[in-house]
Each structure stands twice: as C-alpha cells, then as structure tokens.
Chain A
Amino acid sequence: MSDLQEIADRVVAMAQPGEHIEAFVSRDSETDIRIYEGVVEHFVAAQTEGVGIRVIRDGRTGFAYAGVLDAAAVAEVLAEARDNVQFGTPDEWAGLAEPDGVDVIEQDLWSDALAEFATDEKIAIAKELERLTLAVDPRIRVDDANYADAASESAVATTTGIRRTGRENGCYVVVSTLADDGDETQTGFGFSVGRSPADFNLAKAATEASDRATRLLGATKPATKRTTVVLDPYVTASFLGIISSTLNGESVAKGRSLFMDRLGQTVAASIVTLVDDPTNPKAYTATDLDGEGLAARRNVLIDSGVLQQFVHSSYSGRRVGAKSTGNAIRGGFKGTPGVGCLALQLLPGQRDQSALVADVDDGVLIQSVSGLHSGVNAISGDFSAGASGLSISKGQLGGPIREFTIASTLQRMLLDVVEIGNDIDWLPMRAAGVSLVIRDVTMSGS
C-alpha cells in the first residue's frame, strides 16, 4: 500500500459520528528543460505533495489543504476543515460520492521507460528539437525549445467507502518559433506528446512550428463579410472545450447553462454526435477514475443533433435527480472536485480536410484563434474570437489572412455545422481535434 493511501485512510479513520470525510493526497514530480541557442537556459527539477480534506456535517461543507504531508500539518488541515464546516449553508444535496458498481476500465497510464529516462537524454531531445526546427526554413528563429515530463500519484479515501489510488506520467516537447521577413515577424509553435519519449515525433513538431510561423508572413486583413469557416482540428478542439461548459451538470443545476431546458431536443445539425469518452485509450486525457474516485465512463452527450444528457459529479447529479456520470474533475489537492467533460470527441465524418475545403465556394480555413476566454460567453452563447488562416475561393486555398474576428453564437454554430472531417487528432487537450465546417459566421476585418 502506498504511503499516500495510508495518509488518506488515517484521516478518514478520524471521522466522528455524523461526520463525512474525504481525504485526497497527492505527490507530483516534474522536470522542465528549456534550451536556447544550443544551451540549457533552465533546468527545473521539482517535487510537490499535499493533502486536501473535505468535511461534511449536517449538509454543511468545509475544506482545507496544505502543501506538506507531515502528521502535524495533516492534523491541522483536518482541524481547519472541521472549523470551516460551521460557516457553510446547509445543503440537502451536499455529500460525497458513493461506490456505484460501475466497473473500472483499466488504462495504461504509467511508463517505467519514462520514469527511468536519463536526464542528459532529455536535454539531448530538446536540443535536437531546436536543431531540427532551425533546419526547416532559413527565416525561422527559435524562441525556445522545451522538454518536460511529469509524474503524479494520488490516493483518495472517503467515509462512504471509496478508496482508490492511481498514478500516471507523461512527457512532451514544445518549440516556439519566430519567422522574419523584412520588418514583419510572425510566431508559431509545434509540440509532441507521449507516455514516454519513444512516442515523440520531433520532425513533425519542428515542421509544424516552422509552418505555423511562416505561413502567416505577408498576411493581409480581410474585409468584413458573412462566410463559411473550416476549422483546423486544433481550433475545433478549443471550440469543443467551450461547448463542454454548456453541458456541465452543475451549470444546469444552478440555472446557468443555455441548454438547461433542452434535453431531448435538437440542438445541433443531425451529423453532430458528441461523446465524452475517457475510456478511449487514444484520448490524451484517458483515465480510469474521475475526481471523486468513481469509474470513468463513455457518455453520449449529443446524438445525431439531439441533446441526450449532461455530465455530472455526484453532487450535481443528486441535485437534478440523476446519477454521477463519472465526470468529477479535481485540479489537485487545493480544491474540491468540480464537474466537466474528461475526453470529448465529435464522431468523425468520411472525408479529409482538402475535400471539405474543395466544397467551399467562398470562405476561410481557420488555423488559429485567440481570445476564446475573453470573447466567448458560454452563458449568453455569444461567440467572438480573433483568428488567422487562409482564404478559400472556389474550393481553392488562397493567401494568408490575419487581424480579423469570427463571430456567431454557440447555439447557431452547432446548428450550422455543415460537415465533420475524418481527421481525428488526439491533441493534448480535454477534447480531440477534427476538421469542422460551419456556415454563416461573421468575419469582421477592415
């Protein structure tokens, strides 16, 4: 048994009659190496650990955490959490998750090869990435090339009988680029992720980092008009991230989801089927457990355009008379679990991106968006994002364009989906990427 589980068990064993306790204990380590001009600019080796304790009594919740695990600190955290209980408002739905009998689908989340990987090899990988990137195009400068890995183990225990441990590790490389042409500079990035460095595709990361920067050189500002957009997989993944917040069961329970009264109704074009499936091992965020220690599971949220269900934690489920869908999300020991999608994906269509573009008479291929956190309101549904990409004319890709926005509403965009590509890309995000065609979007430029 891990020392983390022992600590969690010990805390739960201290529960007094009438008191429910959840203890979450974790330990994380990370390496972060940054290369600039062939030299290590920084090398970070770090380990953190901590405990978060939630206490519920008479429907009132209190919480406390500490970034240390010695016995005195853990005792202090429990005392603080207990003290905090009295200030909570009684909530008839407050409570911890209870074992629900859903079987855990084991995921392979740990790599011994990564855990044993030598430091100088990590440095060599980052240097190689910088070298490969510089070799792609003479106009490219490298801002920095990075190797990073992280390992995490955690244990959760509750007075309701949940008792789970897990561990996972992973690594990534990312390179940031600048492309110069006369007075003009554009930026790009490329990355590769893996369970171990053997999974890296450095050449692809280097090429993408170069292409992202150079393709925007000479870009112009387009005129304002209504148009059809083809979203690159990376952009679609970001878009799905916003959609996921409208399907959040807690937002529904608290009356701030724009889809809260729409279960069973058509909310998207009939070709849209949206699934949250953390049990798919290809998903970057694949996992076997959710943030409350329940089995992660496959949930169909939108089926052929019809809204089927929202995602829930045990709390939000209880509030709306549903069960947890295994969608509690925990950001670490410093907070209690929230609700969210774990691994979203749109079911893919039949054709690749070039075929989708060929069908667009007048439009734009959106290669990047900015300001999604500022210009999109998931409660009102207003959508507005800065964008750059390539113009499309009569099915052909044209010149680069930038300094414009694309705008619509989330409600309309789902209904205005024209086609979904077959190019699923398992990006390091909570949603998979895929090319997506959406009509009737306002492009605002000059």
Chain B
Amino acid sequence: MAGHDVVESDVLERVLGAAMRTGGEFAEVFIEDKRSTSAGLDDGRIEQVTSGRDRGAGIRVVKGETTGFAHTADLSEAGLRSAAEAAAAAASQGTGGANTVTLTRQPEHRVSPIERYADEVSKTEKVSLLQRIDEAARASGAAVVQVSAGYADSRKHIMIANTHGLLASDEQVRQHVRISVVANGDAGMQTGFQSAGHTFGFEMFDHIDVEELARDAARQALVKLGARPAPSGTMPVVIKRGSGGVLFHEACGHGLEADLIAKGGSVYRGKQGELVASPLVTLVDDGTMSGEWGAIGIDDEGHPSQYNVLIEDGVLSDYMWDYLRARKEGRKQSGNGRRQSYMHLPMVRMTNTYVLNGSDEPDDIVRATDHGVYIAQLGGGQVNTATGDFVFGMTEAYLIENGEITEPLRESNLLGNGPQVLRDIDLLGNDFAMGNPGTCGKDGQGVPVGDGQPTLRVKALTIGGTAA
C-alpha cells in the first residue's frame, strides 16, 4: 500500500472535470485509505483486538458562497464520478461549462520520520504493552482496584487533487496508548489517567516507558484518595509545564480560527496588531513539530504544514486559515485546513498549539504564590468562542499555601475567560514541555492535536469546588 497512489492521476483529472460541470469555481477530491489496529485491556484481560479499514473519497465543489459535498466508499472511476456529480448538483442547481484540469504533483513534505511501521509489528508485541501496563499499575499499591488500558495505531494515506492543478499526498502514522486506574479508599474511589501519543512508528515505545506511564496514572489515583474537596472562589493558579496547553488551545486558539472570525463569532475579531495578552506570551500553532500528535506533512487540503506565530509578545499577529477563508481574504492559507475523515468537509483547525518559554524558574513561581491552586494535570474543557468563557476539569491539583504545594484536591472544574486569562498571566517559566495527546472537537469532527506550555501563573481563576 505504501507509496502507490490509491487512485491514478488521470482518473482524478476526469473526476474533477465532472465536478466542475455545473459551473463550480473550485473542486477538490480528497482520498483516504486508512488501516488501524487497536487493543483494549480491562479488568485484567485483553478484551479485544480490533482491526479497521476505512477507505473512501470526499468531493467538494465551491460555487459562490456555496460548497457542495459528497463522499463515497467506492473508489472506482464510476463511483468517484457519481460522487462528483452529487457534489456539483449540491453546489448549484444551474449548469456551466466543461472544465479540464491538469494536475501537478507536489513534492512530499514529511515531518515525522518513521522507523518501524506498526503494521510490521506483531499483535503479540502490541498486546504485551497492555499487559506490562496492567502489571505496573497494579503493583503500585494495594488500593489499586481496577486498570483499563488501550493501545491504538493507524497508518493513513491521503491524496488531494484540486482544480488549481494541485496533486499532493501524505502518509500519516499515529501510535497511542492510554491508561485509566481506579483506586479505592475510605472516602470512596478515585481515578488516575495518563496517555502518550506520537506521529512516529512503533519505535515510539523505545523512548516511552509504558510502565512508568502506568505507575504515574496509579500514583495520581492513590494521591487523590487523600484529597480534600477543592476550594470555591477566585484565586491565583499555577499550572505545571505540559499540563495546561489545552487551556490555550481552548481559551484562545479556537477564537483565532479564521472561520469563526469571519462570522464575528470570536472575541479576537478585528484585534490584529493589538495587545491581547500579557507581553510574556508568545503563542504558536505548529504543524511541523516532528513526532508530535498534531503534526502533519500536509493539511487535508494539500497545503504543507507550517509554523505559525499567532500571538507574539502579547500582540495578536495572525489567525489560522483554510483554503476557503484565505481565498475570500485574498491571502495565503496557513496549513490549518483539516478534517476528521473523507466523510467530512475541511475547516480551520489547530495542529500543535503552544506557549513559548519565559524566564522564570518554576520553583520560584510556586514560592511567589501565597495562597492558590497548583494544577498538575488538566482534563478536558469547553469554550464559548464568542464570549471567551471556558471551563476545564482539574484531574490532578493541589493547594498552594505560603508558597508551598501542600494537599491534593478532589476533582472540580476551573472556570475563566480566555482574553482575561491571557492578560492575567503574570509569571512564565523556562521549563517548556508538550502535554498529553488530545482530540479536538469542532462542529462534530474530531482531529488529533497537541499542546504545550512552560509552568506559568494566572493571577485569578475561579475554582469550582465545594470547600469554603
């Protein structure tokens, strides 16, 4: 499968011609062929190994402000033509002229070298990772009562051809492992979670110690057995390196997506060149970050991934762009046109979003905080991009008292406002790290993303606990 085209370029040229028959201004064929393997362990057993095959094409036709889209799992010329005609009809009720397209192949743009493809690794080796995880987590303490773990790999070929003559392809490889631990104590059960994911091959597990990851998930559950209720009210919050990048993803990243900007659904509309954050903050979206979970060679519109500076020293420098939004503004796209699969339309999406290092020592940041909360792991979150209001789960957090990290806290949400948080960052560490792999959801589509940041302090956030 590797290296060869799923569909020949002369077929694509004819299909694109058919797609333009109703007078479209732009047409595109996106082809995907993906094989995946996953394995789940729960309750001490390998419950199931799953093999999956997803293959198909999505065709869009743009005419004026309208996009018509159809997809098919039939990759024969007849199947593709029929989808092209459906997309063309969807984009327009009228008729236009014929259109001929000549495709020019783009050079490959690989950002993550692969040493060992997972489909060349035995399933035995894959499930043994899970067994090692189970043993390591259970050996962490007698209070560990349940462990579940999942392994997943995928190898995806994508091919994009459009009526501008672009013909681009990429191979996207991912490996992921996740661990959930339940511990039981006098005050009930607590949970711990860890995960790792990269766009490398199976060699990822030469560098990541899954047993260490399992022990960390167990440690988190065990520590929380003695946790007290989280406080309520507004206070300073210190966020450990690599655990809060998701906050920037949610709290401002989404608001910098050009499709939201265009419709006025973002608090950052019209703010280019303005100071929108503490001057300490430089925020980047970087699809080229080799091996990271959100790294891509090309985006799902065939544009090479890029390193894009969104906020520089607190000043908003640029938004993120896909083809349609860039076309409208007469500018270049930024490699942020992504989609979940061939069944979905592309839209503006992040890749790896992170805050660059500052100059403070992480220990000094805690010492400078008299009373507050230290977050060692943030869970999922949600943002309203129009208002900037967000919430996040704190899955591992501690009190800070008199400049020291003290007692663990039970889980709660953390609430704030994106633009306000960016201004309220008053200390920024020099210890940058990327965080856990994430899946970003937008408009019903999930895509893999990464995030990261150094240890930092936000002057005031609302902690949604129950304690006074």
Known: A45-B90, A178-B386, A258-B189. A374 touches B53 (CB 8 A): no
Known: A67-B55, A87-B49, A375-B464. A143 touches B263 (CB 8 A): yes
User: Which A364-380 residues have a C-beta within 8 angstroms of B?
Assistant: 370-371, 373-375, 377, 379-380
Is there a chain B Cβ closer than 8 Å to A404's Cβ? Answer: yes
Closest to A334 in B: B52
Binary per-residue interface labels of chain A (402-438) against chain B in the complex, 1 for a CB within 8 Å, 0 otherwise:
1111111100000000000000000000000000000
Known: A65-B50, A258-B188, A407-B464. A377 touches B411 (CB 8 A): yes
Q: Does A88 lie within 8 Å of B69, measured CB to CB? A: no
Instruction: Report B-chain residues with C-beta under 8 Å of the C-beta of A386.
Output: 382, 389-391, 413, 415, 464
Q: State which of A40, A63, A446 has its C-beta within 8 Å of the C-beta of B50.
A: A63
Partner-binding segment picked from B106-114, B171-179, B229-237, B281-289:
B229-237
Known: A88-B47, A446-B233. A403 touches B462 (CB 8 A): yes
Is there a chain A Cβ closer than 8 Å to B48's Cβ? Answer: yes
Instruction: Report A-chain residues with C-beta under 8 Å of the C-beta of B462.
Output: 403-405, 444-446
Q: Is the contact region of chain A dominated by helix, strand, or loop, or is it mixed?
A: strand
Instruction: Report A-chain residues with C-beta under 8 Å of the C-beta of B90.
Output: 43-45
A444 to B234, CA, bound (A): 8
Instruction: Report B-chain residues with C-beta under 8 Å of the C-beta of A36.
Output: 65, 263
A109 to B343, CA, bound (A): 25
Binary per-residue interface labels of chain B (389-429) against chain A in the complex, 1 for a CB within 8 Å, 0 otherwise:
11111000000000000000011110101000000000000
Closest to A223 in B: B233
Q: Does A81 lie within 8 Å of B51, measured CB to CB? A: yes
A442 to B415, CA, bound (A): 14
Closest to B392 in A: A374
Is there a chain A Cβ closer than 8 Å to B384's Cβ? Answer: yes
Instruction: Report B-chain residues with C-beta under 8 Å of the C-beta of A336.
Output: 48
User: What distance in Å separates the Cβ of B170 from its nearest Cβ neighbour in chain A?
Assistant: 20
Closest to B60 in A: A42
Q: Does A444 lie within 8 Å of B52, measured CB to CB? A: no
- Most chain A Cβ neighbours within 10 Å, of B71, B90, B146: B90
User: What distance in Å separates the Cβ of B435 from its nearest Cβ neighbour in chain A?
Assistant: 15
Instruction: Report A-chain residues with C-beta under 8 Å of the C-beta of B91.
Output: 43
Instruction: Report A-chain residues with C-beta under 8 Å of the C-beta of B72.
Output: 47
Q: State which of B68, B184, B233, B345 has its C-beta within 8 Å of the C-beta of A224.
A: B233
Is there a chain A Cβ closer than 8 Å to B333's Cβ? Answer: no
Q: Does B412 lie within 8 Å of A384, measured CB to CB? A: yes
Q: Does A403 lie within 8 Å of B415, measured CB to CB? A: yes
Q: Does A371 lie within 8 Å of B182, measured CB to CB? A: no
Is there a chain A Cβ closer than 8 Å to B455's Cβ? Answer: no
Q: Give the tally of cross-chain contacts (CB within 8 A).
A: 246
Instruction: Report A-chain residues with C-beta under 8 Å of the C-beta of B380.
Output: 371, 373-374
A66 to B263, CA, bound (A): 38
User: Which A157-209 residues have a C-beta within 8 angstroms of B?
Assistant: 178, 185-187
Is there a chain A Cβ closer than 8 Å to B39's Cβ? Answer: yes
A211 to B371, CA, bound (A): 40
Q: State which of A68, A87, A371, A406 has its C-beta within 8 Å of the C-beta of B73.
A: A68
Is there a chain B Cβ closer than 8 Å to A137's Cβ? Answer: no
Partner-binding segment picked from A10-18, A72-80, A342-350, A351-359:
A72-80
Is there a chain A Cβ closer than 8 Å to B66's Cβ? Answer: yes
Closest to B190 in A: A380
Is there a chain A Cβ closer than 8 Å to B265's Cβ? Answer: yes
Q: Does A67 lie within 8 Å of B45, measured CB to CB? A: no
Known: A143-B265, A185-B387. A49 touches B49 (CB 8 A): no
Q: Does B466 lie within 8 Å of A442, measured CB to CB? A: yes
User: Which A86-113 residues have a C-beta within 8 angstroms of B?
Assistant: 87-89, 91
Known: A255-B145, A379-B189. A73 touches B382 (CB 8 A): no
Q: Does B55 lie within 8 Å of A68, measured CB to CB? A: yes
Instruction: Report B-chain residues with C-beta under 8 Å of the C-beta of A46.
Output: 69-71, 343
Instruction: Report B-chain residues with C-beta under 8 Å of the C-beta of A42.
Output: 66-69, 345
User: What distance in Å separates the Cβ of A341 from its nearest Cβ neighbour in chain B?
Assistant: 20
Is there a chain A Cβ closer than 8 Å to B313's Cβ? Answer: no
Known: A43-B68, A141-B264, A386-B464. A371 touches B49 (CB 8 A): no
Known: A87-B124, A403-B415. A67 touches B53 (CB 8 A): yes
A80 to B36, CA, bound (A): 12
A386 to B381, CA, bound (A): 10
Q: State which of A48, A87, A254, A445 has its C-beta within 8 Å of the C-beta of B123.
A: A87
Q: State which of B66, B379, B415 has its C-beta within 8 Å of the C-beta of A39.
A: B66
Q: Does A88 lie within 8 Å of B49, measured CB to CB? A: yes
Binary per-residue interface labels of chain B (108-152) against chain A in the complex, 1 for a CB within 8 Å, 0 otherwise:
000000000000000110010000000000000000011010000
Q: State which of B145, B265, B415 has its C-beta within 8 Å of the C-beta of A404.
A: B415
- Most chain A Cβ neighbours within 10 Å, of B71, B127, B232, B379: B232
Closest to B467 in A: A442
Binary per-residue interface labels of chain A (38-64) against chain B in the complex, 1 for a CB within 8 Å, 0 otherwise:
011111111111100000000001111
Q: Does B66 lie within 8 Å of A77, measured CB to CB? A: no
Closest to A49 in B: B73
Known: A45-B86, A382-B412. A89 touches B66 (CB 8 A): no
Instruction: Report B-chain residues with C-beta under 8 Å of the C-beta of A256.
Output: 146, 182, 189
Closest to B145 in A: A255
Is there a chain A Cβ closer than 8 Å to B267's Cβ? Answer: yes
Is there a chain B Cβ closer than 8 Å to A129's Cβ? Answer: no
A-B contacts, 11 of them at CB < 8 A, read: A39-B65, A42-B345, A66-B53, A87-B46, A91-B47, A120-B93, A185-B267, A224-B233, A375-B413, A405-B232, A445-B233
Given contacts A67-B56, A374-B382, A382-B412, 16 further A-B contacts (CB under 8 A): A41-B67, A46-B71, A47-B71, A63-B48, A63-B51, A66-B52, A87-B49, A334-B52, A375-B411, A377-B411, A384-B464, A386-B415, A403-B389, A403-B415, A407-B230, A443-B232
